[in-house]
Chains A and B, each alone.
Chain A
Amino acid sequence: MDLEYTEEYKQYREQVRDFLEGWPLQGEEANLSEDEQAALFRERGIRAGFVCRNVPAEYGGAGQAPDALKDAIVRDEFYAAGAPGDSISQGAGLLVPTLLDFGTDAQKKRFIPLAISDRERWCQGYSEPGSGSDLASLQCRARRDGDDYLLSGQKIWTSNAREADWMFGLFRTDPDASKHAGITYLLVDMKSPGIEVRPLKGMTGGMEFNEVFFDEVRVPSENIVGREGEGWAVSRATLIHERNLIASPTMMRDTFNDLVDLARRTIIDGRPALEDLGVRRRLVEIEGYVRTGETSNMLQFTASVRGEPLKAMRPMMMAKLYSTDTMQRIVRCAYDLLGAEAMYSPAPEDVAGWARNATSTGWVEAYMFSLGPAIAGGASNIQLNIIGERGYGLPRDPRPPEA
Chain B
Amino acid sequence: MDFGLSEEQELLQETVRGYLANECPPSRQREIFDAGSGYDEALWRGLAEMGLTGLAIPEVYGGAELEVLDLALTCEVLGEFGFPSPFLGHVMAASALAAGGDSDQQARWLPGLADGSQIATVALCESNSAWAPQTWACRLSGETLSGSKCFVPHADAADLLLVGVEGGRLALVETSAAGVAMESGEGVDRSRPVFRVDFDGAPCVPLADDPRIAGRLCDVGRVLVSADAFGAATHLVEETVEYAKTREQFGQKIGQFQAVKHQLARLALDIEPSRALFWYAAYAVDHLPEDGTRAAALAKSHISDRAMEAARAVVELHGGYGFTWECDVQMGFKRLMFDRAFLGSPDRLREHCADLAGW
Contact = CB atoms under 8 A, between A and B. Distances in A.
B138 to A, nearest CB: 28
A3 B3 contact: yes
Interface string A1-23: 11111100100000000000000
A274 B351 CA distance: 11
A214 B295 CA distance: 55
B124 to A, nearest CB: 22
Interface stretch (A123-131, A145-153, A296-304): A296-304
8 contacts: A291-B280, A291-B302, A295-B276, A295-B277, A314-B272, A388-B261, A395-B255, A395-B256
Nearest to B347: A281
Interface of B: 1-6, 69, 241, 244-245, 252-253, 255-256, 258, 261-262, 264-266, 268-269, 272-277, 279-280, 283, 287-288, 295, 298, 301-302, 305-306, 346-347, 350-351, 353-354, 359
A133 interface: no
Interface residues of A, number: 55
Interface stretch (A88-96, A98-106, A232-240, A282-290): A282-290
Contacts of A293: 273
B292 to A, nearest CB: 12
The majority secondary structure among interface residues of chain B is helix
Contacts of A388: 255, 261-262, 264-265, 268
A392 B241 contact: yes
Contacts of A385: 258, 261-262, 265
A393 B266 CA distance: 15
A334 to B, nearest CB: 16
Interface string A367-382: 0000000000000010
Interface in A347-391: 381, 383-385, 387-389, 391
A392 B262 CA distance: 11
A292 B255 CA distance: 27
Given A291-B277, A322-B269, 16 more contacts: A3-B283, A9-B1, A280-B350, A280-B359, A285-B305, A288-B298, A296-B276, A302-B4, A318-B272, A325-B269, A388-B261, A388-B265, A391-B265, A393-B241, A394-B241, A397-B256
Contacts of A260: 359
Interface of A: 1-6, 9, 69, 260, 263-264, 274, 277, 280-281, 283-285, 287-289, 291-293, 295-299, 301-303, 305-306, 314-315, 318, 321-322, 325, 381, 383-385, 387-389, 391-398
B13 to A, nearest CB: 12
The majority secondary structure among interface residues of chain A is helix
Contacts of B274: 292, 296
